[in-house]
Amino acid sequence: MWTFLRRRTLTQWIVAAMFAGVAIGAMVPAFAVSLLPISTAFIRIIKSIIVPLIFGTLVVGIAGHGDDMKRVGRLALKSIVYFEIVTTLALFLGLLTVNVMKPGVGAALAAPAAGATPPASEPVTFASVLEHLVPQSFFDAAARNEMLQIVLWSVLFAIGLTQVRGRPKETMLGFCEAVAEVMFKFTGIVMKFAPFAVAAALAVTVGKPGGLRNLRFRRLPLKRRCRKPWSA
């Protein structure tokens, strides 16, 4: 039995955890809601991986190619094209799933309080986007998980590192390579707990008030065809 369990892949465990989470939320909703800290802790530790992983991989990927910036430019162009294609496919699949499955239909949401006004949002302009893109501090952007700011800072840092010669460059590259390698191993360890987090998240979603277990699905009446009586 233990050998059978050890041979299961992470994907298989996550799929099994999805069904287990739905079952727990449907059968014991009070216990299911108490599992919220498990999923929250997993999301937090996943967020803590992103910043050092992006920094280490970007610096090594750019500065590790030496002074050949044309090669780096070609690699960046291929990455942008790949990113755009994959993002477009993801958006298409998301829109298709939403239009076919229609999630949220039948859910009863609490009405807003009388007299409550939604918070005013500032208009998005090119100047505001440009200001938001540039970080005031790398550590401040890392603390707030501002990915665009982290990516821009890491790219500029890597380009500056390509202009450095000798031991300082080798030391910094070695440090970034070590950070990236350690973070990949760290990610592998964290992902082993993904089934527990998935089960807890689905259990909370199904078991909480207003969750999936409270949905009421109506049986649509079948339309009968009205046939005219045959007249001789």
Within-domain flag for 110: no
Spell out the residues 6+ positions from residue 205 whose beta carbon is closer than 8 angstroms to its own.
Answer: 21, 25, 211, 212
Q: What does DSSP assign to residue 134? A: S
Residue 181, pLDDT score: 93
CA dihedral angle for residue 137, residue 134, residue 141, residue 155, rounded to 10 degrees? -90
Q: Would you state the pLDDT for residue 147? A: 86
Relative orientation angle of helices 36-63 and 167-191, to the nearest 10 degrees: 150
Q: Rounded CA gap, 213 and 206, in Å?
A: 6
Say how far apart CA 59 and CA 53 lie, in whole Å.
10
**Number of compact structural domains in the chain:** 1
Within 10 A of 63 (CB to CB), how many other CB atoms are there? Answer: 22
Q: Would you say residue 193 lies in a domain?
A: yes
Residue 118 to residue 136: CA distance in whole angstroms: 30
pLDDT at 107: 63
204: containing domain: 7-99+136-208
Q: What is the CATH number of the domain that holds 22?
A: 1.10.3860.10
Tokens matching residue 61: 């990927």
> pTM above 0.85?
no
CA–CA gap between residue 208 and residue 218 (Å, rounded): 21
- Amino acid 92: pLDDT: 93
Regions in the chain scoring below 50 on pLDDT: 215-226, 228-232
Does residue 155 form part of some domain? Answer: yes
Q: Note whether residue 215 is domain-resident.
A: no
pLDDT of residue 217: 42
Residue 223 lies in a domain: no
